[in-house]
Amino acid sequence: MASITMKDLVKAYGDVEVLHHVEGEIEDGELIVIVGPSGCGKSTLLRMVAGLETITSGEISIGDKVVNNLEPADRDIAMVFQNYALYPHMSVRENMAYGLKIRKISKDEIDQRVREAADILEIGQYLDRKPRQLSGGQRQRVAMGRAIVRNPQVFLFDEPLSNLDAKLRVQMRLEIRKLQQRLGVTSIYVTHDQVEAMTLGDRLMVLNGGYVEQFGTPIELYDRPATLFVAGFIGSPSMNFLPATATNGLLTLGNGASVTGANHANGAITLGIRPEHLVHDENGPIKISVQMFEQLGANTLMHGVLDGTDNDIVASMPGHVTAGEGSVMSFSVEASNLHVFDATSGKRIEE
């Protein structure tokens, strides 16, 4: 078991820098999710930890050992790939045993470790099959089994669930979480799915365009997003953004209505409100002209625009709401649920 430290990590291809001075400290036994849109550099970062990509500058240490120049095999890691990368000509058993065989571990011990891992993952009856005879979910388990038998210090997951169907994904997500907690192995998990990120991670690292936008617990990211990007990325449906002007804490919206914020910002700002924090209130200051409703069963998504402007806005209302398309509805928001961002830099303005 080990911690991972990333110090001032830079990756560049020629002159093009794709990761900019990434800093991060991952504690022993933690599961960190690196999340971001495609092309943000999250896989590159993971592959740098794995040793599959060279490090342009900066330092990665696993435990207290700097691993910059170590081969992947010498870093004591195991990786689960997006397409599983199982060896198609080997049986499940051979796939799992291959790494151990190369490490010249005795046959008895390999057998025992493979059996243990197969028991944990419930793939005992498939051990003699070839990967192509397995379903997607089973292959996924084999790929994890291959990681487990190695008994590594660090697990690396590169979007391991993206090839599964939605239902299986939810199930495997839970299993990965349980497994990781049970084995207590430090893990880094890369995904572009924010729900997966929220539910899995002890902490989340949000990457955008090669920059770390925020690194914190899921609830921190949800309650106090540091930038507009994080605010829009975390949470579903995503946060509403309304341009507004602030004068000593009083936030005036585009249609002249104003709400009282919890801070003392001044000037042009972007106001962020989560759909689930808009409360239907006859006397509320925020008037929305309703365009349509989306029924989700447990709640209803109301799509509209801020009355008198063309700022799109979504509100999540409890229960079934059907009537009211074309009308104007009023909403209020608690001051603590207002997120105020600088209009130009996109940074959060703290209370």
Partner 1 sequence: MIENRPILNMVSHAVLIFGVIIVALPIWITFVAATHDPVRMTQAPIPMLPGGYFWENFKQTLFGGGLSGTESAPVWRMLLNSLMMALMISFGKIAISLLSAFAIVYFKFPFRMGFFWLIFITLMLPVEVRILPTFEVVADLGMLNSYWGLSIPLIASATATFMFRQVFLTIPDEMLESARIDGAGPLRFFWDILIPLSRTNIAALFVILFIYGWNQYLWPLLITTETDMTTIVMSIKQMLEAAEQSPQWNIIMMTALLAMIPPVFVVVAMQRLFVQGLTETDK
Q: How far is the CB of 165 from partner 1 (least distance, A)?
A: 21
Shortest separation between residue 200's beta carbon and partner 1, angstroms: 22
Burial label for 162, CB within 10 Å (0-12, 13-18, 19+), is middle
Q: Tell me, what DSSP letter sits at residue 87? A: -
**Spatial distance between the Cα atoms of 114 and 130, rounded to a whole number of angstroms:** 16
Distance of closest approach, residue 159 Cβ to partner 1, in angstroms: 12
Q: How far is the CB of 154 from partner 1 (least distance, A)?
A: 11
Nearer to partner 1 (CB atom), residue 103 or residue 107: 103
Distances (CA, A) of 58 to 16, 61, 187: 16, 10, 21
- Residue 164 CB, shortest distance to partner 1, in Å, is 17
Q: Which pair of tokens denotes residue 34?
A: 């690196």
User: Is 221 within 8 Å of 51 (Cβ atoms)?
Assistant: no
Closer to partner 1 at the Cβ: 56 or 245? 56
Contact 276, 237 (CB under 8 A): no
Least distance from partner 1 to the Cβ atom of residue 126, Å: 19
Among 164, 158, 157, 177, residue whose Cα is nearest residue 138: 164
**Shortest CA distance to 17 belongs to which of 26, 6, 8?**
8
Q: Which is nearer to partner 1, 23 or 109 (CB)?
A: 109
Cβ nearer to partner 1, comparing 41 with 131: 131
CB of 152 to partner 1, least distance (A): 9
Residue whose CB is less far from partner 1, 52 or 170? 52
Nearest distance from residue 68's CB to partner 1, in Å? 16
Nearest distance, CB of residue 49 and partner 1, angstroms:
11
- As given in the structure block, the two tokens for residue 103 are 């490490």
69 or 125: whose CB is closer to partner 1? 69
Distances (CA, A) of 133 to 117, 128, 137, 325: 20, 10, 12, 52
- Contacts with partner 1 by CB under 8 A lie at 50-52, 71-74, 77-79, 81-83, 85, 87-90, 98-99, 102-103, 132
Contact 11, 53 (CB under 8 A): yes
Handedness of CA 42, 47, 49, 50 (dihedral sign): positive
Task: Report the residue number, 85 or 195, with the smaller CB distance to partner 1.
Answer: 85
Which CB, 38 or 322, lies closer to partner 1?
Answer: 38
Task: Output 79 or 92, the one with its CB closest to partner 1.
Answer: 79
CA angle, 274 as apex, 269 and 313 as ends, to 5°? Answer: 75
31-67 CB burial, b ≥16 within 10 A, e <16? bbbbbbeeebbbbbbbbbbbbebebeebebebbeeeb
